[in-house]
Amino acid sequence: MSRLVFVNGNLVDEAQATVSVFDHGLLYGDGVFEGIRVYGGHAFRMQEHVERLYESALSIRLTIPMSQDEMAGVVQDTVSANGITDGYVRLVVTRGTGTLGLDLRGTDNPQVIVIADKITLYPPELYENGMELVTASTIRNHPAALSPRIKSLNYLNNIIAKSEGTDAGSVEALMLNHKGEVAECTGDNIFIVQNGALRTPPPEAGILVGITRGAVIQLARDEGIPVLETAMERHDIYTADECFLTGTAAEVVAVVKLDGRTIGTGRPGPITERLMEGFRALTRGA
């Protein structure tokens, strides 16, 4: 069945959902985006996602041609128009058309694009048994060069690291920062469990502060599980009791090996499973 896509102010058939070849989003990856999960026909934590989108846009001096409330309405309308009950929204804002040059002053007409579709999660066996990670040689972009808080259309850094993971037979890969510290995975944030407490890299480690990450931190604190945002090395993961990832598409998934080294018992741990169940209850009421 053909999808309806919001682009340039209208819901149109996906075949008519086009942008100019001179759009700087295409030419230079100049734009911002959000990925949002849909549960029960409603976008999860819509306000947080929309606020982050507008913060990213403000940081790169991109003016979005509608208000935050209008944007939220467009997202929900696109979800409803496509009959999505459990799925995913890709919300994109491009710089707009311009010349074959970097000067943003020559651009106009930023494009707002909203795609709502079904979602493919990691295979069920990974949630049951946990996944294996490898460490990518590609490090996260230096935060002094580009703030990791900007969710931009240029994801080449993550794509190259992801390819290292898939080449090694892993669906994800761990990325370190310029200090050699643990940052995040190519599309997910990372946590470990040590002595009953959660540890996860802080924003200054060069991570994108995930919406799902925040939801899981709150779930843990509500259950009395201590949470520490602190610098981590791979040694901390190798010696952890448990490890798991969080992300919009991943939700919560255990990690049982890193670089061929078994973490904990080699199975999803009890705290990881509690948080998986808690997140399921939060999003699905079950």
What are the structural domain ranges in the chain?
4-117, 124-284
Give the pLDDT confidence score for residue 120 in this predicted structure.
Answer: 81
Cα angle at 17 between 78 and 43, to 5 degrees? Answer: 20
- β pairing state of 182-185 and 4-7: unpaired
Q: How high is the pLDDT of residue 286?
A: 55
pLDDT value, residue 22: 97
* Annotated active-site residue in 151, 162, 179, 257: 151
pLDDT in tens, 114-145: 999 998 888 999 999 999 999 999 999 999 99
pLDDT in tens, 35-67: 999 999 999 999 999 999 999 999 999 999 999
Are the C-beta atoms of 89 and 11 separated by less than 8 Å? no
CATH of 4-117, one of 3.40.109.10, 3.40.50.970, 3.10.20.30, 3.30.470.10: 3.30.470.10
Was domain 124-284 assigned CATH 3.20.10.10?
yes
Annotated catalytic, 151?
A: yes
- pLDDT for the residue 10: 94
Q: Give the residue ranges of the chain where pLDDT is below 50.
A: none
Q: Do domains 4-117 and 124-284 have the same CATH topology?
A: no
The pLDDT value given to residue 8: 85
Q: What pLDDT is recorded for position 119?
A: 87
Structure pTM?
Answer: 0.95
Q: How many CB atoms lie within 10 A of CB 108?
A: 9
- Which backbone phi and psi does 246 adopt, to 5 degrees? -130, 145
Please provide residue 278's backbone torsions phi and psi, each rounded to the nearest 5 degrees: -65, -40
Asked if 211 and 283 touch (Cβ cutoff 8 Å), the reply is no
